[in-house]
Amino acid sequence: MVKDQEYLRSKASFCLDLAKKLGATGSSVTVGHSISETVNFRNNTLDESNRSDGLAISIETYLGKKRSSISSSNLLDDNIKTLIEKCFETTKNTPEDEFNSLPDKDLLAKEIKNLNLYDETHFDNEKKIEYLKELESVASSEEKIINTESSFTENKSNFILANSDGFCDGYKSSSFSASCVTVAKDENSMERDYEFTSKRHLSDIKGAKELGQKASEQTIKKLSPNKIGSEKISIIFDKRIAKGMLGAFAGAISSSAISRGTSFLKDKINEQIFTETINVIDKPDINKGVGSQIFDSEGVKSDTLNLVQNGVLKNYLVDTYNGKKLNLKSNGRSGGTTNLYFDNGNISFEDLLKSNSKHIYVTETIGHGSNLVTGDYSVGATGFLIENGEFKFPVNEITIAGNFKDMFKNITLASDLDFEYSINSPTMMIEGMTVAGK
């Protein structure tokens, strides 16, 4: 069982009291406990079981504008005492920083809304095994599939965040995830693909058959790929890749990148950075949302943010420290975005495929090719060639490149958004990028 609020609260107040006794002018502490159980299958047999039980504590102490932090997984009072002493000693020796501060009191979350983030159902290992057996029997049924690996993880966690300004709250959350990776082989190639599902509640995850079926189909489709020539061509990003563009965007509008001047979106507030039809929203209070939160990692209440409206950048993601630096109030985004998504476009998926005579449809990218300082983007890619709205053949060993500044202004979104993950995008088309192949 995951530790209850009472236990976590007692540890938290022990820390705050001790820091105060030592002379700290402020402090904050997070105590968390998480239990997760995973079962892995491979080629229709049990491969691994993994149980993880972890407590964690992190403490920040302030002396005026001086600050430092410690973290530990050892919650014995003796150890915590030694660490807080060490932490405060370090704080004293750390130079002042005028922007160091606990969050403004009036921004702290006041009420804990119930967002249904916790499902107490325990799906024991026997049941996980049944699910994976069913999944793998479907995934491996095609002759071309030569290897299957699948996994089921159940996680339950609980935490308390407390600070010396009187904030003290936390809540339980859960997640249930299943994934399947399949390898297919024919006379020309060996390919791998995957499918996964992750939800707060057990009853919401995809069925075993659906998961296995999808992974198998997607993998077989990739067999016998071709390399294509180098050219400028319209690119369609499958949803699972399109959401990565939002990830890069979120990195570039974090208040830390903005205040340090290391973002290509610095000073772009109220400017047109996307096509006029584009809206980007970060919504923390989606019922059962994978990325939902009631307050951020500093205790600041998070409200829905319209980050981009009609293509115009409206907000950065602001935490307390960088907010003070930029003269902005924290908007509860210490720790990043919550449920981030592009609103639907107004063209159907089918019509998007037909919108040009030729596209590359990208289903996977590899490499870390996003430079958030310059906006340059270059990654390896695999996918399919689409002609006149139809999938022609799989393509691999190509790269796609461009610059986010231009790419954002050439985005067309389909109308097929759904809320599978914490970042979601409809299928996305970007015109004018360079493909390098032969």
Partner 1 sequence: MSNFFDKSDLTRKDADAIVSDTLQNCDDGELYLEDTKSESILLDDNKIKSSSYSSDLGFGFRAITGEVVAYSHSNEISKDSLKKSSENLKSTLKSMKGTYNQDISRSNKKFYQDINPIEQKTLNSKLEVLNKVNEYLRKKDQSVKQVTTSFAGEQKSIEIIRSGGEVLTDVRPLIRFNVSVMLEKNGRKETGVYGIGGRQSYDEYLKNDNWKTVCEEAFRIASVNLESKPAPAGEMKVVLGPGWPAILIHEAIGHGLEGDFNRKKTSAFHDLMGQKVASEGVTIVDDGTIDNRRGSLSIDDEGTPTEKTVLIENGILKNFMQDRLNARLMNTKSTGSGRRENYRHVVLPRMRNTMMLSGNQTQEEMIKSVDKGIFAVSFGGGQVDITSGKFVFNCTEAYEINNGKIGSPIKGATLIGDGPSILKEVSMVGNDMMLDPGIGTCGKAGQGVPVGVAQPSILIDKMTVGGTKL
Which CB sits closer to partner 1, 83 or 286?
83
398 is a contact residue toward partner 1 (CB under 8 A): yes
Q: What are the backbone angles phi and psi of residue 175, rounded to the nearest 5°?
A: -150, 150
- Listed in sequence order, the residues at least 6 apart from 166 whose beta carbon sits closer than 8 Å to its beta carbon are 105
**Length reported for the chain:** 438
183 is a contact residue toward partner 1 (CB under 8 A): yes
Per-position DSSP letters for 15-34, written without gaps between them: HHHHHHHHT-SEEEEEEEEE
**Interface region with partner 1, contact rule CB under 8 A, candidates 203-211, 244-252, 334-342, 365-373:** 365-373
Binder among 13, 177, 355, 371 for partner 1 (CB under 8 A): 371
- Residue whose token pair is 């907010």: 323
Binder among 48, 143, 350, 390 for partner 1 (CB under 8 A): 48
Which CB sits closer to partner 1, 153 or 427?
153
Q: How far is the CB of 338 from partner 1 (least distance, A)?
A: 22
Q: How far is the CB of 434 from partner 1 (least distance, A)?
A: 4
195 is a contact residue toward partner 1 (CB under 8 A): no
Q: How far is the CB of 372 from partner 1 (least distance, A)?
A: 10
26 is a contact residue toward partner 1 (CB under 8 A): no
- Say how far apart CA 305 and CA 319 lie, in whole Å: 14
Residue type present at position 254: S
402 is a contact residue toward partner 1 (CB under 8 A): yes
Binder among 1, 203, 327, 368 for partner 1 (CB under 8 A): 368
Binder among 95, 106, 110, 166 for partner 1 (CB under 8 A): 95
- Say how far apart CA 87 and CA 55 lie, in whole Å: 19
**Cβ-contact 337, 248 below 8 angstroms:** no
- Say how far apart CA 318 and CA 322 lie, in whole Å: 7
Tokens of 273: 């950075």
209 is a contact residue toward partner 1 (CB under 8 A): no
Judged by phi (left if over 0) then psi (alpha if -120 to 50, else beta), residue 375 lies in left
Which CB sits closer to partner 1, 50 or 141?
50
Which CB sits closer to partner 1, 296 or 364?
364
Q: How far is the CB of 24 from partner 1 (least distance, A)?
A: 15
**Cβ-contact 423, 247 below 8 angstroms:** yes
> What binding mask, one character per residue, do residues 301-340 give for partner 1 by CB under 8 A, x or -?
----------------------------------------
Q: Any bridge partners for residue 184, and if so which?
A: 145, 191
385 is a contact residue toward partner 1 (CB under 8 A): no
Q: Where are the beta strands (DSSP E) in 66-144?
A: 66-72
Binder among 4, 23, 122, 190 for partner 1 (CB under 8 A): 190
231 is a contact residue toward partner 1 (CB under 8 A): yes
153 is a contact residue toward partner 1 (CB under 8 A): no
Please classify residue 172 by burial: count the beta carbons closer than 10 Å to its beta carbon, then call 0-12 exposed, 13-18 middle and 19+ buried: middle
146 is a contact residue toward partner 1 (CB under 8 A): yes
Q: What DSSP character marks residue 237? A: E
Q: Where are the beta strands (DSSP E) in 43-88?
A: 45-63, 66-72
Residues 255-294 that bind partner 1 (CB under 8 A): 259-262
**Interface region with partner 1, contact rule CB under 8 A, candidates 276-284, 297-305, 336-344, 430-438:** 430-438
Which CB sits closer to partner 1, 344 or 378?
378
- Contacts with partner 1 by CB under 8 A: the residue count is 75
52 is a contact residue toward partner 1 (CB under 8 A): yes
78 is a contact residue toward partner 1 (CB under 8 A): yes
**Cβ-contact 374, 262 below 8 angstroms:** no
> What binding mask, one character per residue, do residues 109-128 give for partner 1 by CB under 8 A, x or -?
----------------x---
Q: How far is the CB of 281 from partner 1 (least distance, A)?
A: 29
Which CB sits closer to partner 1, 19 or 435?
435
The Cα-based distances of 110 to 169, 306, 407 in angstroms read 9, 22, 41
Q: How far is the CB of 256 from partner 1 (least distance, A)?
A: 9
- Residue whose token pair is 């949803």: 239
253 is a contact residue toward partner 1 (CB under 8 A): no
- Say how far apart CA 83 and CA 106 lie, in whole Å: 30
Instruction: Give the CA angle between residues 150, 366, 230 to the nearest 5°.
Output: 135
**Number of other CB atoms surrounding residue 196 within 10 Å:** 19
